[in-house]
Chains A and B, each alone.
Chain A
Amino acid sequence: MNRRKFLTILGSAGVVSALGTAQVAKASGGTTTYPYYENSYGVLHDTTRCIGCRRCEKACQQVNNLPMPAKPFNDLEVTATKRRTTADAWTVVNRYMIKNPEGGKDKPVFRKLQCYHCNDPACASACFAKCFKKEPSGVVSYDGSQCVGCRYCMVACPFYVPGFQYEEAWDPLVLKCTFCSPRLQKGQLPGCVEACPMGALTFGKRSDLIKIARKRMDKEPAKYVDYLYGEYDAGGTAWMTLSGVPHAELGMDMNLGNRPMGELTAGALGAVPMIIAFWPVLFGGVYGITKCKERLVKKEQEKAIAAAQAQTKQALEAAVENIEKTQGVEAAIQVRQALKTAQQPPSDGSCCCSSKHGEGV
């Protein structure tokens, strides 16, 4: 019994027990969507063992009943073109020609791409209809029955994995690697892992895979780059990659950081309750100030008008008294009468003023 077989049996037995009992998960803190599932499963892809035979692609197509591509799977030149996963191809193996530092022929390195089944997936954080879920087993599952088809998951996925059925009119869905979840539940290995003839894919508990990867890197430091892709990238992924050349040369994004992508939106979403709570106070306050100012202005105006009116009245009184003194009581009565009739229409300060000035001359 070689090690791969052993791990296979170990893994299969473990999955069934893991699926049976929901794992009590240890929260990884604060803003993440999903707790870290201690006993979740993963797959380790060792690119130093991969020969680019595309048997994993073929197996994936078969076990998932996906349509066969136009070019057959034994056409290995397909790996030379840069392909990504689509709704019809959930895993692809691409070839990267690595320059030989000592000169000579370029070395081909093959890298398998499929859903990485993140610990705290960006797609699940982005989905507004809760279609994606990180299962305790490690699978990132997708339930198409409630998918609205907005494709925000595809915008969010840092690995460019989910594919959409653009040609489907009535029930277009987002499709991606399922980690062969139905097979796992039956105690079988994922199709691609089972089909790999080179042992480049190792299935097991994620925590065990990390230890295995470390051992390989320690044992043969010249063979491996000292980096396990997926251990921490984007918050950690269930599928991880070992490489003999810098991962960036295999088209892998080394700048994703080590926190889940969903955390990046947590700040913006966290501000929502604050705005809902404070904006009414702010704008209600401004409204109150506006009203208050309007009232003050009105009061000031009334005060000014009243003062002007009082002043006018005084001046008029003085003028009439003056007339009484100089031209006699008769004239004063006449003037008073005239003023009364003049004031009948809505009293206007300016007209009184002009009459006063007229009197003064």
Chain B
Amino acid sequence: MSGSTHSIVIPTKDKMLNLGEFSLKRPGNQITAVILVVGFILTVIRFTQGIGSITNLDDNAPWGMWIGFDLLCGVSLAAGGYFTTVACYIFGMKHFHSAVRPAITTAFLGYAFVVFALLYDLGHPLRLPYMFFFPGTTSVLFEVGLCVATYLTVLFVEFSVAPMEWLAQKFPFLLKWRKYVIKVTILLTIFGVCLSTLHQSSLGALYLIAPSKLHPLWYSPFIPMFFFVSSMVAGSSMVIFEGMFAHKGVHHYMDATHLREADDVAFSFAKAASFILFGYFMLKFIDMIVQANYYYLFSGYGMWWCIEMLFFVLMPALIYAKGARERNITLCRIGSINAVAGIILNRFNVSMIAFNYQLPASERYFPSIWEICISIFVVTLIVTVYRFIVYHMPVLYEHPNFRDEH
């Protein structure tokens, strides 16, 4: 417990901004600049020339990369928010406390940019609020929209503590608001887990209406449950996964508590993820047998299903189990890469690879390079905003003015 001499730049009343990090001539900043410029140009093209101008979407494949990655993966990988807050506040695992703020920050950014990315995919992006004026209550998409909108609000309130601590020096009235938010932490957490359960599962339920289009090995009446259970894996894995990068990029903004607890958080989350992955494997396996889908196992799609189940569900479970037991942080991180890749693969399978499986290859969808560029652009935006937040707000460290208040 030696008081490490970290040199965190904490913005003061006279110098609120800390943008120096962005102007450093480092490859990270240069790559970011290039991606943002390309993304901006593509954005202009998309909104002036139509969706068809930069995508390979067609009438058979109305949903492509932007739904499969930006929406489905985006939402599930942002599950760290509810997973960490529930573990810390509801199940009382206090030693996760330093992981809560980074998790909420990434969850908030994740959801905010899911909505942002969705605007690219919508024909009439400005009409998004129409779902509240003309609510199609029989639509799963309505439930998803309502829950994501509400949960984004909850996450905003949960996250707002960090910017308020940053800005309070200049605008002292925020201190009062901060107190109110802290008071309702438990309420927000429970509200958050309700909403997360609903929309994580309903992202899977979106596909319930298309049994003839989705391959039977992925289609199941239990697909909402599969999406929810795997979102827990995604949530815990992303905390480890992001931690790995944060330790590389913004290590100098972490305080002693965060550094001390980081490994323990990783081991605990690895253990949890391992358990849940085993459970998820059993769920999928039993579902396959109960629905008598074993006939499909010997087809091409069957092999692909086996690859997903063995190398992207069972393997990360085993790696996590070994990593957590031996307290081997490298192994846990490898497990997290494997698990995150597994989540992405599963969402791609459901939304693109095993979707429209009966159509001939010539009528199948493959994303255009520009669609992928927009997805990369969105991820880069998230990372850039995350960096801005970490450079300015107490996310990876406790603000000296608000120490020991929880």
Residues of A within 8 A of B (CB): 33, 84-87, 122, 124-131, 146-152, 154-156, 158, 160, 162-169, 171-174, 253, 255-257, 261-262, 264-269, 271-272, 275-276, 279-280, 283-284, 286-287, 290-291, 293-294
Contacts and interface: CB of A to CB of B under 8 A. Distances in A.
Nearest to A149: B123
A167 B123 contact: no
B140 A294 contact: no
Interface string B196-234: 011001100111111111000000010010000000000
B211 A264 contact: yes
User: 4 closest A-B pairs (Cβ-Cβ)?
Assistant: A149-B123, A166-B52, A151-B62, A290-B92
B60 A128 contact: no
A130 B130 CA distance: 9
Contacts of B90: 283, 286-287, 290
Contacts of B59: 84-87, 154, 160, 162-164
A308 B228 CA distance: 49
Contacts of A33: 138
Contacts, number: 181
12 contacts: A130-B135, A150-B122, A169-B48, A169-B50, A264-B208, A265-B138, A265-B209, A279-B190, A280-B190, A283-B190, A287-B89, A287-B186
Interface in B108-135: 121-125, 127-128, 130-131, 133-135
A158 B135 contact: no
A129 B136 contact: yes
A1 B55 CA distance: 54
A342 to B, nearest CB: 27
Interface in B151-205: 186, 189-191, 193-194, 197-198, 201-202, 205
Of listed B91, B121, B141, B189, residue having the most chain A CB within 10 A: B141
Tier of interface size on chain B? 35 or more
Given A125-B138, A294-B92, A149 B48 contact: no
Of listed A87, A130, A147, A171, residue having the most chain B CB within 10 A: A130
Given A84-B59, A162-B59, A276-B194, A152 B141 contact: yes
B212 A155 contact: no
Contact of A155 (B63, B127, B135, B198): B63
B139 A126 contact: yes
B52 A167 contact: yes
B194 A279 contact: yes
Contacts of B133: 129, 146
B57 interface: yes
A179 B258 CA distance: 64
Given A129-B134, A275-B197, A84 B60 contact: yes
A228 to B, nearest CB: 19
